[in-house]
Amino acid sequence: MRVLLVEHAGFCFGVKNAIETVLRAAARGSVCTLGELIHNRRTVDELARRGIFAVERPQQVTTRQVVIRSHGAAPQTYEALSRLGVEIVDATCPFVRRIHEKARSLAQDGVQILVIGQQEHPEIVATMGWAGPGAILIDSLTQARALRHYDRACVIGQTTYSMEKRDLLLAEIARHVDELEVFDFVCATTSLRQKEVLALRSRCDTVLVVGDWSSANTRKLYELACQGCQAYLIADAQDPVLAQLDPDSICGITGGASAPPQALEEIVAALKARYPCIIETIAT
C-alpha cells in the first residue's frame, strides 16, 4: 500500500494554543472551559481526566478561572463572566479575534455587516454578538438571493468555512451591494487543508480524514474528499475500516484542525502493522 500524508494535518495553531493555555491555567488553580475546548472527544476526555471540565453557561462556572476557547465569545459573555468575578483566561485564536475586532469596528461605524457562516457554530455565535443585531447571517444561496439592495456593506465570516461555498455566496452577494468590502476570513490553516485534500483525492483510491463528526472543518475535508474518491471520516486507529482497505491501493491521510497528532500517528502505525506500506508526504 502507498500511504500519502499531507503536511498540515492535526492540531492547528489556534487549537494548540488553546490546549497549552488551559493546561497553564490548570497549573495555577481551578479552571473550567466555556463550552468544550475543541471538537474532539479524545482531547476533551483527556482534559476531564485532569479535572478540567466544560460548562455551557457563565452562571455554571464554579472554578476560579474560566477559559474562553479558540472560537472566542460574544461581548455579552465576557460581561456576564466579569459580573461573576471569575478570572477570564482568553484563548481566542488571533485569527478569530481579528474578525471579531473587525465586526466591532464595522458595527460602531454603522456599516451593514453580512456574516457568512453556520448559525450554530460557536465562532459564529460569538461573531454575531460582536456584529450586533443589524448583522445578517448567510449560509445558503437562498439566503444570499433574498438580500435586499445595499449601497455599502462588508462581508466577514467563519474561519473554517468552505472556500468553494464562500466564493459561490460572495458572487451572489456582490449582485446586491454597490460598494462591497470583503474581509478575508477563511484562515490560512483552513485554506491549506482544503487545498491539500483536493490534491490527495486526485492521487488516491481512498482518503482517511481523521477527526470527529462534531468538527465542522473536519466534516468539510471529508465532503471534499468524497467528491473525488472513496473517503472515510475516522476518529482513531480502532476504526474497522482500516482492516478493509485494499493492500494494493493508494491511501491518503489528512486530519481536521482538532484531530490530535497522536491519533494520526496511531493510524499510520496501524496501517504499517497490517499492510506492507510505502509512506510519503506530499507537498502542495
Contact footprint for ligand SF4 (CB under 6 A): 12-15, 70, 93, 95-96, 159-160, 187, 189-190, 257
Cα separation values, 210 from 192, 194, 214, 215, 257, Å: 16, 14, 12, 10, 10
Give the residue with the Cβ less far from ligand SF4, 44 or 187. Answer: 187
Give the residue with the Cβ less far from ligand SF4, 18 or 251. Answer: 18
CB of 85 to ligand SF4, least distance (A): 28
Shortest-Cβ-distance residue relative to ligand SF4: 14
Give the residue with the Cβ less far from ligand SF4, 65 or 194. Answer: 194
* Among 185, 253, 257, 230, CA closest to 38: 257
Q: Give the whole-angstrom CA distance, residue 119 versus residue 284.
A: 32
- The active-site residue out of 123, 164, 179, 181 is 123
Q: Answer yes or no: 266 catalytic.
A: no
* Among 14, 129, 122, CA closest to 76: 129
Q: Give the whole-angstrom CA distance, residue 14 versus residue 19.
A: 9
Q: Give the whole-angstrom CA distance, residue 282 versus residue 284.
A: 7
Q: Give the whole-angstrom CA distance, residue 133 versus residue 148.
A: 17
Q: Give the whole-angstrom CA distance, residue 16 versus residue 66.
A: 17
Give the residue with the Cβ less far from ligand SF4, 63 or 254. Answer: 254
Give the residue with the Cβ less far from ligand SF4, 157 or 206. Answer: 157
Cβ contacts of residue 157 below 8 Å, gap of 6+? 99, 115, 116, 117, 127, 166, 185, 186
Catalytic machinery residues: 123
